[in-house]
Amino acid sequence: MATLQVKNLTKNFGPTQVLKQINIDISDGEFLVLLGPSGCGKSTLLNIIAGLETVNEGEVRINDHVVNKVEPKDRNIAMVFQSYALYPSMTVRDNILFGLKQRKTPQEEMENSLQHFSKMLKVDHLLQRKPGQLSGGQRQRVAMGRALVRKPEVFLFDEPLSNLDAKLRVEMRHEIKKLHEQLGTTMIYVTHDQVEAMSLATRIAVMDEGIVQQIDSPEVVYDRPESVFVADFVGSPSINMIPGKLVVEGSLVAVVPDAQSSLKIPVSGYEFREAPRSGTGVLLGVRPECLMPQSSSEQTEFQLSLPVSLIELTGHEQNITFNFYGAEIVSRLPRGNQLKVGDVVPLNIDLGGVSIFDSTSRKRI
């Protein structure tokens, strides 16, 4: 078990600064996911924690000990790579035990660990095979087994599921979640897949351009994003962004969309971080599930009627695109809604679920 701290960490590759003053505190037993697009610096940060990259400034602490100059093998960290990194000429058994043999672990202890973790990962019947005879999912289980038998204080996962097909990704995600619940070990997981992040993490650190944009629980990151980037990156379909201006008239606060100046969307119940001012340029963020058809008997605070321009079936749900005065907004609805392209649908916006961002700073207000 371990705590881990990243303090004021900066990393440059030549003249390019890829990590900028990163600060993260990771609690004992936490599952932290580093989420962001390709090139945001998340894998570089993971490599620095593992000791595979040096830092230009800042510290990495494990259990309050600075490990900047500690060799990777001495950090008691295990890493699972995207490419599996198995030895093709070795059997599954030898791949799993390789690290323990290098440490000259007693034979009985190795055998006990092998039997325990190979059964846990459901590869105990594959021990005599070689990696070339395994599926992608089986190889990833073997790579995880090789990490587990070492009983490290921290597990690092570098996009371990990106080489698997969609069905296997779901299965392996389920296995990793169960693994964390069984072991309670501190885990740091890198991915660009927001579904993986939401389903696995106890906390998510959303990164962009070498900066941690927000770090919080999956629920807070989704419901209260700190920036337009976080709001747009987390969620599928993406959040609807309606540009407009704030209007303050006594106790009434509303967003007037740029696309339709006669429309006022009331947001008086929104928790502004400072007193709202008329004329402030804003982006009103509306999650697709917050845009719902309105029944004829329903009385709501805000009513809107829009034509359907596109219908996409995703299985048990459908994504409905509406024409919003020349722009598009998307709603996520159950499949049972019998809508057709061209239908004009009365809609209700769940105003309790909206986010408002300053259009200049693109930060939550």
- Can you tell me whether residue 143 is helix, strand or coil? helix
With b for 16 or more beta-carbon neighbours within 10 A and e for fewer, the 238-257 pattern comes to ebbbbebbbbeeeeebbbbb
Residue-level pLDDT at 187:
96
Residue-level pLDDT at 168:
83
With b for 16 or more beta-carbon neighbours within 10 A and e for fewer, the 93-114 pattern comes to bbbbbbbbeeeebeeeebeebb
- Quote the percentage of the chain above a pLDDT of 70: 98
- Can you tell me whether residue 124 is helix, strand or coil? helix
Quickly count: other Cβ atoms within 10 Å of residue 6's Cβ.
22
Upper half-sphere CA count for residue 97 (Cβ side, 13 Å): 21
Q: DSSP E strands: which ranges in the chain? A: 4-13, 16-26, 31-35, 57-62, 65-66, 77-80, 154-158, 186-191, 203-208, 211-216, 240-249, 252-257, 265-266, 281-286, 291-293, 304-313, 317-324, 327-334, 344-349, 355-358
Instruction: Give the pairing type, strands 4-13 and 154-158.
Output: unpaired
Residue-level pLDDT at 298:
59
Q: What is the pLDDT of residues 216-252, one digit of tens each?
A: 999 999 999 999 999 999 999 999 999 999 999 989 9
Q: Two tokens at 195?
A: 């579904």
Query: CA 132 to CA 109: how far, in whole Å?
Result: 28
Residue-level pLDDT at 57:
96
Query: CA 142 to CA 127: how far, in whole Å?
Result: 9
| DSSP letter assigned to residue 238 | P
Query: CA 219 to CA 214: how far, in whole Å?
Result: 12
Render 5-44 in DSSP notation, one character per residue: EEEEEEEEETTEEEEEEEEEEE-TT-EEEEE--TTSSHHH
Residue-level pLDDT at 241:
97
Upper half-sphere CA count for residue 84 (Cβ side, 13 Å): 19
Residue-level pLDDT at 136:
87
Q: What is the pLDDT of residues 53-94, one digit of tens each?
A: 999 999 999 999 999 999 998 999 999 888 888 999 999 999
Closest CA to 304 of 350, 260, 347: 347
Q: Two tokens at 316?
A: 């048990």
Residue-level pLDDT at 301:
65
Taking each helix axis from N to C end, the angle separating 166-183 and 136-148, rounded to the nearest 10 degrees, works out to 20
Tell me the residue type at 301.
Answer: E
Q: 227 with 211: CB under 8 angstroms?
A: no
List the pLDDT tens digit at each of the 365 positions of the chain.
689 999 999 999 999 999 999 999 999 999 999 999 999 999 999 999 999 999 999 999 999 999 999 999 899 999 988 888 899 999 999 999 998 998 889 999 999 999 999 998 889 999 999 999 999 889 988 998 998 898 899 999 999 888 888 888 888 899 899 989 988 999 999 999 999 999 999 999 999 999 999 999 999 999 999 999 999 999 999 999 999 999 999 899 999 999 998 999 999 999 999 999 999 999 999 999 999 888 655 556 688 899 999 999 988 899 999 999 999 999 999 887 889 999 999 999 999 999 999 999 999 99
CA angle 350, 354, 359 (to 5 degrees): 145
